[in-house]
Structure 1
Amino acid sequence: MVICAPDGGGRSWNFLFRRNFHEWELRRFYSFYEHIFARLPSGEGEDILIWQLNRSGIFDMRSFYIALLKAPSVSFPWQSIWYVKVPRKVSFFLWTAAKGRILTIDNLVKKNLPLVNWCCLCRSDEETVDHLLLHCKFASALWSEVLIMFGV
């Protein structure tokens, strides 16, 4: 949101975030912060929306369709799961986790099971696939130990 100074002076950005940042998010936040403050509004004229995919600045389906065609398609490297020399059950777990289908509480709640959705390890956040395998403080500690063990 852009805030104007009460004396008619310059403008500045005013961000309101719903929660505090985790340590692992700070680098991304600072990058965003630098990016957005490099584009501070000049304060001249009225704010208007401009469609940047055509010359007129007005949205049209043709420019949107062309943008969709040019959009890069990111495909998951499934070979890194199925063609490595690990037991099949490890590959199957990784594949199921990558698709977000392991039986975490949020997936069980989607199946109409009456459960309280909190992480069984840290008990401080919802138990989702991403939280349980990446963001939970216990999972982070485990990954740190694994990286140290393999010298990464």
Structure 2
Amino acid sequence: MDAVLIANEAVDSRVKKKKPGILYKLDIEKAYDHGNKEKKGFHLVKWKSVITGKKNGDLGIKNLNLQSKALQMKWLWKYANGNQLLWERVIEAKYIPEDKWMTKEVTTPYGVSLWRSIRNLWDEVKNNSKVKVFDGRKTMFWKDNWNEKGNLEELFPDVYNLVTFQQGFIADLWTLQGWNFNFRRHLNDWEVQRVADFLNTVEPFNGLQTGKDVLWWTGNNRGVHKVNRAYKLMDQTNQQIKNWPWKQIWKSRIPYKVSCFVWLLAKEAALTQDNVMKRGITLCSRCFLYGETLENVNHLFLHCKYTQQLWRIFLSRKGISWTMPRKVSEALRAGRKQEYWQKTEADGDLSLLQYGGEYGKRGTLGVLRA
């Protein structure tokens, strides 16, 4: 609801009637949204609620720490799939390569190394990637994650200790007749089954192809590293809460500022007298509009007698019979559910936030004046 529109209507009514009176202006923005800018205000929600996703019931501002990591992981993925760009050649010349994909971990004790901070995220990149083999000249048979079942050195450590060419590339071990493995000694009876399992694991390989081996990002169907997808993989808090009305709050056709205020109401975090008392300030909490009960979010915006009059005006104009829910979040969630309302005439779709500005100032004034 726009408090300015309500105040203007009250002033206009007094002017037309030519009766003296006192008008108390209810500034919702200052009273329930912002603190005193000249002094230290209240934190309405925890910072964790700010950086958690909207589907999880929070504000959805990105965690800059995770966003920075996702961007750095993008550079690592680009370097691993190197196209011999200038910056890649500089990194390759300055730091010792660990394998065909990445340099060794930077451990220099002096100076500030940008690449050192980026290189520290290589394990996270590998854990969310797999190698797609083409010519096999870049992929190590035992070390790299190219097999669908996982890293072969970790799956078959006993077989790994038996072979002679442990640092070999796929191109070195593959022939036209198939895999060519050399063992250090003859197999014992109890080792035969284990080697057979190993051969069954690598048997589905289809052979070498034209092109260079690539690091395939598993978070994308095209194998391309996407910063947003990497951010979501690292953000463990981004889990949708069942029945949280995030679409009614953020997808309605209303100003973003109104959506933010409705979000505060749904979280019951608006700065009402009840919430002020919870922050250690001694008050006599009474509803500002009627003065009979505690002033909290659900009472002030749903159940107060004056508020209910506004709801009746709106619902009667829409031809709807409505049973008011207990909380604002329930009212938002139930905006399209049959158990809370019944339409008495065909009047299009309903959104509880229409009255709060979806139709703009003229539409809202039209409802109030009717």
Q: Give me the TM-score of the superposition, normalised by structure 2.
A: 0.21
**Greater relative contact order, per chain length (Cα 8 Å cut-off, separation 6+):** 2
Q: Give me the TM-score of the superposition, normalised by structure 1.
A: 0.49
Greater Cα radius of gyration, structure 1 or 2: 2
